[in-house]
Amino acid sequence: MANIIDKALKNKTQCTGCYACYNVCPKACIKMQDDAEGFWYPKADYSSCISCGKCVKVCPTINKIEPGKEPTGYACYNKDEAIRLASSSGGVFSLLSRNILEKGGIVFGVGFDEDFNVVHSFVEAEAELANFRGSKYVQSRIGDSYKQVKKFLKEDKSVLFTGTPCQIAGLKSFLGKDFDNLICVDNVCHGVPSPKVWQKYLEVIQLKMSSKLLAYSFRDKSIGWKEYTAKANFENNKEIVLKRHRDLFSRVFIRDIALRPSCHACAFKGKQRHGDLTLADFWGGDKMHPDMDDNKGLSLVLLNSEKGQKIFEEITRQLAFEKTDVEKALNYNLSALKSTKENPSREPFFFDLDNLDFARLIKKYCSDPPLLAFKKWIKRLLRPLYKKIIR
């Protein structure tokens, strides 16, 4: 019997961990197993396999699906300031979700479970959306979400599904056809760090605070949208608020040292996208739309299909928005167009992951050389003075 999955996984850069093969298997003989780096890959039980080949046919990396049309773009933010401040950028996702929920639909998004694993799930009420707000800089487990989406679609319910570009491609490949009642929203993805690294980080901060974690934000806006500030709250009423150069996990993320191998050879980059809409931070918004950039969060929204255009028009009353030049906007957000380069220290970092104290690991692999660190320190010190002068 041909080991179909094993043949398809000769190169780990070809597997995004999208769960399409897991969801499509008619015999449920495919399980997703973590490797030594903490990323999941399909593993088949060949004693149950009927060699139908569906797992390979559904793989969005092997079998390319066509992206959407040339997009139109907008700079946007939610007029509800409370929602906007609770979101990573402009709070557009919340408005899209509310639109679907008010029609009796279902929203699939990414949130934390009780152990702060990052997982996909669905909600049916607006009050449940809070867990989906805010970026999660860890790969999310799709689980049975694709099968659940298909079930809801067949029940004639409207469904909004949001995820990384490879997850959107995985869902569309799994479904095999377009559904009028499905809206897909992809984000501009920098790359997904290892869930194993994330859990080790959580162990460290909970031990340091001698308390269980209650809430976590990768992009807290207490001191502004552009600061990349991490915030953690604990059961003992203590709180950590750290800028990215001081937070251990943020340093892992910005160094690109713990990303999934496929993120360095992403097949889903480009101006034309697989989602009906694309959401991103509008970096460069201060130059292209200075009147809208108040450091509270600004979204870049790309409309990639007629369905995307229609739902966007339905939420514009609750948005502040201006049409934008897509080419220029994407040049400020190159993660939409190009894969992240692999950090040359990636392999030794993962080799030491189970052997070094986490703080020492980050110091060893995610620290600047002394001269560069000094220059950055001076720059941070002078930045407030510079802002006062230019005012």
Query: Which residues are bridge partners to 120 per DSSP?
Result: 110
pTM strictly above 0.85: yes
Identify whether the C-beta of residue 337 lies closer than 8 Å to the C-beta of residue 270.
yes
Average pLDDT over all residues of the chain:
92
pLDDT in tens, 192-210: 999 999 999 999 999 999 9
> What pLDDT is stored for residue 3 in this prediction?
64
Other Cβ atoms closer than 10 A to 80: 16
At position 77, the amino acid (one-letter code) is Y
∠ Cα 96 281 112 (to 5°): 65
Give dist(CA 22, CA 101) in Å, integer. Answer: 28
> What pLDDT is stored for residue 68 in this prediction?
80
Q: Is the pLDDT of residue 348 over 70?
A: yes
Beta-carbon contacts of residue 270 (< 8 Å; ≥ 6 apart): 67, 336, 337
In this structure, whether the domain defined by 4-57 belongs to CATH 3.30.70 is answered with yes
Burial code (b: 16+ CB inside 10 Å, e: under 16) for 243-255 equals ebbebbbbbbbeb
> What pLDDT is stored for residue 206 in this prediction?
97
- Phi/psi at 20 (nearest 5 deg)? -65, -45
∠ Cα 21 22 24 (to 5°): 65
> What pLDDT is stored for residue 381 in this prediction?
61
| C-alpha separations of 10 from 2, 7, 176 in Å | 14, 6, 25
Nearest alpha carbon to residue 301 among 286, 316, 281: 281
Output 99 or 244, whichever has higher pLDDT: 99
Q: Is the pLDDT of residue 267 over 50?
A: yes
Q: Is the pLDDT of residue 1 over 50?
A: no
Identify whether the C-beta of residue 231 lies closer than 8 Å to the C-beta of residue 205.
no
Q: Is the pLDDT of residue 138 over 60?
A: yes
How many helices (H) and strands (E) the chain has is answered by 15, 13
pLDDT in tens, 82-92: 999 999 999 99
Give dist(CA 232, CA 105) in Å, integer. Answer: 32
> What pLDDT is stored for residue 2 in this prediction?
46
Torsion sign across C-alpha atoms 335, 336, 341, 345: positive
- Phi/psi at 252 (nearest 5 deg)? -60, -45
Burial code (b: 16+ CB inside 10 Å, e: under 16) for 260-294 equals bbbbbebbbbebebbbbbbbbbbbbbeebbeebbe
> What pLDDT is stored for residue 64 in this prediction?
84
- For range 104-127, the mean pLDDT: 97
- For range 95-111, the mean pLDDT: 97
> What pLDDT is stored for residue 385 in this prediction?
58
Output 19 or 388, whichever has higher pLDDT: 19
Q: Where exactly are the structural domains of the chain?
A: 4-57, 64-386
Beta-carbon contacts of residue 15 (< 8 Å; ≥ 6 apart): 8, 9, 41, 42, 61, 262
Q: Is the pLDDT of residue 369 over 70?
A: no
